[in-house]
Structure 1
Amino acid sequence: MNRYERHGELLRLLAEQRQLDVETAAKDLDVSAATIRRDLDQLAEQGLLIRTRGGAMPNDVTYDLPLRYRYARDSAEKERIGRAAAALAERGMVVGINGGTTTTEVARALATRPDLLEREPSEGPALTLVTNALNIGHELAVRTHLKVVTTGGVAMAQSYELVGPLAGLILKEIRLDIAFIGVDALDPERGASARSEHEASINALLAAQADRLVVVADSTKLGIQAFARICPPQAIDTVVTDDRAPEKVKAFEERGMKVIQA
């Protein structure tokens, strides 16, 4: 387990337990207590926790893991979802994509799809990718076979998403062939939702501008609801998820959504 993976696990444990003990954390992560102390000190320097005598406590009642510390969780499932979703895009499409760990895997799969990499120098971009995610825009900007368009807006510290009126200015002026939307919750009756109303507003606009809407979500997001709705179930064409909860799939199919289990 590398440093970032340890940091992610420590933050996850802190979010669940509300308090961390150095010795217990060292045993759980199978590293030395000295390593845990260094990790906690580094996280405290970033303002992600408060160091206490012998451990740490969260520094915010709405504590959530920043994006870079969530990659290690369910990474294999997210990669499979990403590849399955990316296969739905066709050459020449204008593709919308929001921020999050699962949509980042979709973006990576699109960027490395062999058939999209094969093109003549005189050809235009294999895909035009529109995103409000800083990390996705940064990672894909070097891919010369893609045209990458990023929105303006105010950056959200947890998700790297750009939100607010400035982000909406661009999205209102474009059309998307397909949009891949990551969500915090997906319910067959209520549709897709997010914890942040700011992110939900921009994600709703991305969804509305797309001819086809694909929601990508691991199985832990299925059958639950979050604070701010992104779109109703009838707006969703396809759901791409993992294969860990097949019993949840039927309810979505009955609502007219195609479900792909990766």
Structure 2
Amino acid sequence: MNPSDNPSHILFAEERKNEIIKLVNFKGKVFVPDLVAHFNVSPATIRNDLRELEGFHLIKRTHGGAIPIESEKVGFEMVNQQKSVEHIEQKKMIAKSALNYIEEGDIIILDTGTTTLELAKMLKNMHITVIVNDIDIAHVLEEYEHVQVVLIGGNVRKKFRSTVGPFALKMLSEINVDKVFLAVNGFSMTRGGTTPDVNQAEIKKKMIEISTNTILLADSSKIGKSSFVQFAAPSQITTLITDPGIDSSHLEQLQSLGIEVVISEA
């Protein structure tokens, strides 16, 4: 089913905005009256939604509607194949530093993402339990004799190879873990950790809730930026691991918030 076939049931505001972005990128252009009919809300509500989404650089408003931002043609979030080639050396450095935070016998969560995938590749000789909602990470870990892998079920995000939704949330709510290693699309000192997808944000929130320590893996290009949905306030982050490209003012601000900042080395 394509986005335009989805029934116009009542949605929460964030879910509606998320769906608007999908429609914009799927159709190439949308008009206010069509969105009003699709979501059964007022024109003023739709215009406010479009104004806010444009403010986050997720769409571009036009007379009477909206069009995609050119760099966001794949649905406002790069698919895994695209993410895997961006900042790859920094991601490997960050993963190597994150390895220092994992101890024998730990029960950990690896969030979906290409940096956490690099971390998974380094766990071969460890005796740990790893909870994942990422198909690619599970595939890597199943080859490791001493790593017990728990794959969270749920709805599969097409092209992102991860699970979300109520089944995933229910399964996560029944466990407790030592540490969660989270990926991020943006981290700012005011909004904290953010991601483009509402469903993914809910999963990340639950992962933080059930973990004793929250460790954020973010290359320096993500710091100081915000995406659509907040999943963690700055106060919820125990440790942030990044690369040497971090801006000195960002580093000072993060440390002033009480976050342990680790700068990875080659």
Same structural fold, with TM-score higher than 0.5 when normalized by the shorter chain: yes
Q: Structure 1: which 5+ runs fail to align?
A: 1-14, 19-56, 117-125
On the 8 A contact 2:77/2:196 being kept in 1, the answer is no
Partner of 2:169: 168
Partner of 1:149 in structure 2?
150
Q: Give the counterpart of 2:253 among 251, 254, 258.
A: 251
Tell me: CA distance 1:61–1:160, structure 2 relative to 1, closer, same or farther (3 Å): closer
Gaps of 5+ in 2: 1-24, 29-69
The answer to whether the Cα contact below 8 Å between 1:98 and 1:161 also exists between their aligned partners in 2 is no
Shift of residue 214, structure 1, vs aligned partner: 0.2
Structure 1 residues 246, 168: CA separation in 2 closer, same or farther (over 3 Å shift)? same
1:162, distance to aligned residue in structure 2 (A): 0.4
**CA contact 1:65–1:158 (8 Å) conserved in 2:** no
Normalization by structure 1: what TM-score? 0.71
The more displaced of 97-106 and 63-72 is 63-72
**Map of 1:209-220 to 2, 5 A cutoff?**
209-220=210-221
Alpha-carbon distance in structure 2 between the residues aligned to 1:61 and 1:92 = 40
Query: SS at 2:121's partner residue?
Result: helix
Distance between the aligned counterparts of 1:258 and 1:61, measured in 2?
34
Structure 2 counterpart of 1:70: 83
Instruction: Provide the aligned C-alpha RMSD in A.
Output: 2.1
Q: Does 1:202 align with 2:203?
A: yes
SS in 1 for 2:203: helix
Whether the 8 Å contact between 1:86 and 1:107 is mirrored in structure 2 is no
CA–CA separation in structure 2 for the residues paired with 1:138 and 1:215: 22
- Kept in 2, the 8 Å contact 1:98–1:203? The answer is yes
| CA distance in 1: counterparts of 2:71 and 2:254, whole angstroms | 36
Distance across 1 between alignment mates of 2:254 and 2:97: 18
* 1:93 maps to 2:106: yes
Residue 101 of structure 2 aligns to a residue whose secondary structure is coil
CA distance, structure 2, for counterparts of residue 213 and residue 58 of structure 1: 31
The percent identity for this pair of structures is: 25
Q: Counterparts of 2:74 and 2:161 in 1: how far apart (Å)?
A: 20
CA distance 1:144–1:255, change in 2 (3 Å): same
Q: Which residue in the other structure is 2:181 paired with?
A: 180
Q: State the Cα deviation string for residues 60-92 of structure 1 (Å, max 9, x = none).
A: 573543202322221111000001012101110
Deviating more after overlay: 59-68 vs 144-153: 59-68
Letter in 2 for 1:131: V
Equivalent residue letter for 1:66: V
- Find the counterpart in structure 2 of residue 131 from structure 1: 132
Aligned with 1:87: secondary structure? Answer: helix
- Are 1:82 and 2:95 counterparts? yes
Residue 229 of structure 1: SS of its match in structure 2?
strand
Structure 1 segments, 4+ long, off by >6 Å, are none
- Separation (CA, whole Å) in 2 of partners of 1:232 and 1:254: 14
